[in-house]
Structure 1
Amino acid sequence: MDNLTFKYSILLVEGLKIAPQSSQPTFILLLIAYVVILIFNIGIVIQISAEKSLHEPMHILFCHLPINDMMGATALVPLLLRDILTDPSMRYITYVECVFQAFFTHLYGTTSHTILMIGLTIRLSHCRSVIQNHYCDNPSLFKLSCENVVINNVYGLTFTVVLLSSSIGFIALTYLRIAMVCIKSKNKATNSKAIKTCCTHLAVYIILLVCGFTPIILHRFPEYNDSRKLASVMFHVLPPGLNPMIYGLQAKEIRQSIFKIFRNKVNTKNV
C-alpha cells in the first residue's frame, strides 16, 4: 500500500474547459476580480488596524472576515490563473501541494471539521493521477483512490446536512426575532434601517450558501461537471468581493473613517 500511496506524487489537474480564444479574456477578468478582492479586504484590515477608535470586539470580527476571504480567494485564484494560460496536458501539481490547497479551500468554508476531513482522505492510497476538477478539494482527492471511500462520503454528506440545517435554522431564528422586534416597534426610521441592513446581509448569505453547497452537491453528479466548476469559482470570488462592501461599509464607524480619509486627501490636494 505504501508504494501505491506515493506512486503518483505528481498529479494532473483537469482544469476549466475554456476555448483558446476565451483564455485571455477569462484570465484578465479573473485577475481583475482577484486584485479587487485584495484591495478591498486589505483596505478594511489596514483601516481597522490603524484607527484606534475601531479597536473594539465588533470591528475585530470585521477584521477576521476579510482575512478569511483573502485566504479563500488566494487558495484558488493564483493557481487557477496559472492553469488558464497553461496547456491542459501540462497542468501539474504535486500531491503535497494538492493536499495543502484542499486544506485551505475547506478551511475558508468550514473551519471546524477541516483537519478530520482531510485526515480521512490522506489515509487512503491513490491509484489515479488526475484531479477531476479545476483545483484540489477533498472530494477530488479521495476520487484518486481505488479503496472504499464510503466513510469519506458518509462523513462529508452528514456534515453537509448538519451544517446546512443548523446554519439555515440559526439564520431563520435570528431574522424572525428581528422581524418581531420591528413589528412591535413604532419607530419607522429604525425599522427601515433594520430592514435595509438585513436584506443586504441576507442577500450575501444566500449567495454564499448557494455558491458553497452547489459544488458539494454536484460532485455526486458527473454530468454537471462544468456547472460545478463555475459554482466553486463563484464561491471563492463573489463573497470575498461583496463582503467588504456589505459588512465593511455597512458599519457606520468604518464607513465614516474611510470617508474621513478621502476628505482629508481631497483637502490636501486643494491646498
Structure 2
Amino acid sequence: MDKGNGTTVTEFILVGISEIPELQFYLFCIFFCIYIITVLGNASIILIYKLSPNLHTPMYYFLSNFSFLEICYVSASAPKMLHNIVMGRKTITFHDCFVQMYSILFLAGTEFYVLAAMAYDRYNAICHPLLYRVIMNNRVCIQLLCCSWAIGAANALVHTLLAYRLPFCSNKIQHFFCDVPPLLKLSCINTWINELGMYVIGGSVTGGSFVLTLISYIKIILTILNIQSSSGRKKAFSTCTSHLTVVAIFYGSIFFMYLRPKSSYAMHHDRLVAVMYTIVAPLLNPFIYSLRNNDVKLAVTKLLQKRLTWKY
C-alpha cells in the first residue's frame, strides 16, 4: 500500500498482557506489587552505596547507576500498564506512544553498555589487580557511563524516528507498551527500512556490547583458571556470578525479541518475553546482587548495627 492508504491515528489501544476481563484485577495486584518491590529494591541498592564508604568502588558505582536505570526502565512501562488496567480504557496518545518507545529503547541501550562497563571493571579487578585503581579511576568510570548514555540515546532516536514516519492502518497494539515489533505490524507500507535498522543498527549496538562483555569474561575465565589456589578461584568467580546472571537474563530475552524477522513475531509469546526483560529483570536485580554478594550483606549489617546504636 502507498502512504495515502493509512488512516490518521491520534491514539493507540494497548491490548495489555491479557485481554481476559476476569484476569485484570489479579494482573493489577501482581504487577503493582512487583513494581513497588522493584523500585524499593533498586532504590535500596543506591542508598546502601551512598551510605557505605566501603562500597565506594567502581564496581558498586556502576551497580548503583545500573539500579537507577532499572528504576527508570520499569517506570517507563509498568505505571501506564497499571493505569490502563484500573481505568479499563487501554489507550495511549500517538505522541505519548513514541515518547514511551524512545524511553524504553534509550534505557535498554544504555543498560547494555553499563553491563559491558561492569564486565570491563571485573576484568581489570581480576586480571590487573595491582593497576586496578589506576585504570578504573573516577574519570574513566564517568567516561564509560557517559558513553553508555550517549549510545543508548542515539540508538533509540534512530528507531523511534523510523517508526514515527510510518502510516498506520490500525491502532490496536498487541502489547502492553509501545514497542517497535508490534508497531511494525500495524503499518500500511513495507517496513523493510525499520527491520534493516533493527538488524544493522540495533544489532550492532546490542551485539557490540555483548561482544565487549564476552571478551572481558573470556579473559577473566582464562585468568581464573591460572590461579593455583582453589579458594582464590572460588572468590574470583563469586565476584562475577551476580553480573553474569543479570547479563544472561537481559541479553537472552532482548535477542529473542528483536533480532528476528517480522514474519516470526507471535505477539502472545512476545508479551511474555517482554515481561521478562522490562519487569522481571529489574525486579531480580537487587536480589541477585544483594543475596549473592557478601560486601553488600556486610554493608547492610553495618548500617543496621549503626542504626540500632543511634536508637539506643
Q: TM-score range by the shorter chain?
A: 0.7 to 0.9
Q: List aligned pairs for 1:1-271, cutoff 5 A.
A: 7-51=8-52, 54-87=55-88, 90-110=89-109, 111=152, 112-217=154-259, 220-221=262-263, 224-247=266-289, 253-267=295-309, 271=312
Q: CA deviation at 1:6?
A: 8.4
Given that 1:13 and 1:131 are in contact with CA atoms closer than 8 Å, whether structure 2 keeps it comes out as yes
Using the TM superposition, give the Cα deviation of residue 141 of structure 1 relative to its aligned residue in structure 2, in angstroms: 3.4
| CA distance in 1 between partners of 2:241 and 2:98 (Å) | 37
CA contact under 8 A between 1:8 and 1:126: conserved in structure 2? yes
Unaligned stretches of 5+ residues in structure 2: 110-151
**Match of 2:98, as an amino acid?**
V
CA displacement at 1:243 relative to structure 2: 1.9
- The count of residues paired between Structure 1 and Structure 2 equals 268
Counterpart-to-counterpart distance in 2, 1:147 and 1:212 = 26
Residues of 2 paired with 1:85 and 1:58: CA distance?
40
**How well do the aligned residues superpose, as a CA RMSD in angstroms?**
2.9
| Equivalent position SS for 2:17 | coil
Alpha-carbon distance, 1:118 to partner: 0.8
Call closer, same or farther: CA 1:79–1:265 in 2, change over 3 Å: same
Sort the Cα spacing of 1:197 and 1:58 in 2 relative to 1 into closer, same or farther, 3 A. Answer: closer
Q: Deviations over 1:34-61 (max 9, x none)?
A: 1111111111222333445545544332
Note closer, same or farther for the CA distance 1:37–1:209 as it changes in structure 2 (3 Å cut): same
CA contact (8 A) 2:195 2:262 kept: no
1:173-195 CA distances to partner (integer Å, 9 max, x unpaired)? Answer: 22222222122211222211122
Q: Distance in 2 between matches of 1:193 and 1:53?
A: 18
The residue type equivalent to 2:233 in the other structure is N
Moved more, 18-27 or 145-154: 18-27
CA–CA separation in structure 2 for the residues paired with 1:208 and 1:184: 29
The one-letter code of the counterpart of 2:253 is C
Structure 1, unaligned runs of 5 or more: none
Query: Take 1:219 and 1:267, find their aligned partners in 2: how far apart are those partners?
Result: 60
1:201–1:33: structure 2 CA closer, same or farther, 3 Å change rule? same
Q: Could you tell me how far apart the structure 2 residues matched to 1:156 and 1:6 are?
A: 25
Identity of aligned residues (%): 22
Matched residue SS, 2:266: helix
The aligned counterpart of 2:147 is none
Distance 1:6 1:61, change over 3 A: farther
- TM-aligned CA distance change 1:236 to 1:223, over 3 Å: closer
Cα contact 2:167–2:189 (8 A) shared by 1:
yes
Per the alignment, do residues 257 and 196 of structure 1 end up closer, same or farther by CA in structure 2, a change over 3 Å counting? Answer: closer
1: distance between equivalents of 2:306 and 2:82?
37
Deviations 1:208-247 (CA, angstroms, capped at 9, x unpaired):
1122222225672467221100110111122212222334
> How much has 1:256 moved relative to structure 2?
2.9
Residue 106 (structure 1) shift: 0.8
Q: Is the 8 A contact 2:174 2:182 kept in 1?
A: yes
In the superposition, the TM-score normalised over structure 1's length comes to: 0.85
Deviation at 1:86, TM superposition (A): 4.6
SS at match of 1:113: helix
1:199 to 1:156, Cα distance in 2 relative to 1, 3 A: same
TM-score by length of 2: 0.75
Conserved in 2, the CA contact under 8 Å of 1:219 and 1:225? Answer: no
TM-superposed CA distance for 1:76, in Å, is 0.9
Q: Give, in whole Å, the separation in 2 of the partners of 1:207 and 1:223.
A: 20
SS at match of 2:253: helix
* Aligned residues of 2:249 and 2:281 also touching (Cα < 8 A): yes
Please say if residues 139 and 219 of structure 1, whose CA atoms lie closer than 8 Å, have aligned partners that are also in contact: no
